[in-house]
Amino acid sequence: MTELAAAKAALKTQAVETPSWAYGNSGTRFKVFAQQGVPRTPFEKLDDAAKVHEFTGVAPTVALHIPWDRVDDYAALAKHAEQRGVKLGAINSNTFQDDDYKLGSICHPEASVRRKAVDHLLECVDIMDATGSADLKLWFADGTNYPGQDDIRGRQDRLAEGLAEVYERLGDGQRMLLEYKFFEPAFYTTDVPDWGTAYAHCLKLGPKAQVVVDTGHHAPGTNIEFIVATLLREEKLGGFDFNSRFYADDDLMVGAADPFQLFRIMYEVVRGGGLSADVAFMLDQCHNIEAKIPAIIRSVMNVQEATAKALLVDGDALKAAQRGGDVLEANAVVMDAYNTDVRPLLREVREEMGLDPDPIAAYRRSGWGERIVAERVGGQQAGWGA
């Protein structure tokens, strides 16, 4: 198989999971902005996600967020997804919106609050059983704002204890994906602030626990591709939450702020075998002012473009330059791939998959956007907290 044919084959089998919450209303900490046609139920979110998959061909699963996506019958929700041509993906927990969690959830100094948080995580595993989901994704807002507010080591002990209980509940084929974030909303200490802390807990828990890299959860200047390469090497990279940032956790469309960084990350994924390994490529974004579905389609396309460029890096030429200590030539090999216009290649890939070569244009011609504005009138729109 030629290098180009291999790249095409990899691109055709790539899968990017879209998040249910990205189809709902969102905004800044000051205001949630409403849009027309926004889903009112998890079922309508799946309808929109199905359109993303229909036009991209590489978004076959949808992540749920509990309780935002809580329903009475999860088997029915899974069936609805299947009827629309998609499946339910990761189950995301929520231990940050209840008043009880002001001082933390799983790390809270009060045992009763910790019990409530762990019970919620166990409920999420129950939902995984009902939906056939394989991944439980955990992000904790736990931390402190002031020195002396709580015992740092004690909070790590509580975290380990709670994670261990949930880990033991996981069934065959299920895993726990632990996310990290270096600040916000805790400003003095965050209980899972970096990949090292997440890795340490996952290593102790066992093979079903892996680390999630959210590309917006790093200090400026952090070499995220180094983290990716290291976690892949240790077989502890469970997945990504793809987004972009200019400052902090902006949750903008992936590849919008720094497409070169996304390319560098995807090169390490390709280099480390991450495309064929069990690494979940998920979006975690908030489309505050732009139309939801086109923004998600564009995000999926941005991941595809970065992946295509990463697949075109001439590995033999790069290794030769590295072995010879030719710094400029090694960098040139990488930059040649990055500077390649891969849009014609991706158009070919889509046509060979029986898709329209321009997913955004195809979506606009479909009339789905106008249809949902006309039909989704009344009721409570989905959004933060709903």
Query: Could you give the domains of the chain?
Result: 14-375 (3.20.20.150)
- As a whole number of angstroms, the distance between CA 176 and CA 141 comes to 17
Which position has the token pair 């995301």?
A: 92
Q: Given CA atoms 290, 292, 293, 296 in this order, what sign does their dihedral have?
A: positive
Mean pLDDT of 160-178: 98
Q: Note the pLDDT of residue 384.
A: 73
Q: Note the pLDDT of residue 78.
A: 97
Q: Given CA atoms 157, 67, 92, 134 in this order, what sign does their dihedral have?
A: positive
Residues of the chain with pLDDT > 90: what percent?
95
3-state secondary structure of 290: coil
Q: Note the pLDDT of residue 385.
A: 57
Q: Note the pLDDT of residue 247.
A: 92
CA dist list (Å): 230 to 16, 136, 195, 258: 22, 22, 10, 21
| Residues listed for the chain | 386
pLDDT surpassing 80 at residue 1: no
Mean pLDDT of 192-217: 98
Locate 49 and state its tokens.
């996600």
- As a whole number of angstroms, the distance between CA 69 and CA 133 comes to 14
Which position has the token pair 């290649």?
A: 345
Mean pLDDT of 152-177: 98
CA dist list (Å): 235 to 15, 92, 176, 230, 280: 19, 22, 14, 9, 13
- As a whole number of angstroms, the distance between CA 357 and CA 362 comes to 8
- As a whole number of angstroms, the distance between CA 208 and CA 280 comes to 14
> Per-residue confidence at 277, pLDDT binned at 50, 70, 90?
confident
Q: Note the pLDDT of residue 151.
A: 98
Residues of the chain with pLDDT > 70: what percent?
99
Q: Note the pLDDT of residue 28.
A: 84
pLDDT for 221-235, tens place per residue? 999 999 999 999 999
pLDDT surpassing 70 at residue 386: no
**Rounded to an integer, what is the distance from CA 292 to the centroid of its chain?**
16
pLDDT surpassing 80 at residue 285: yes
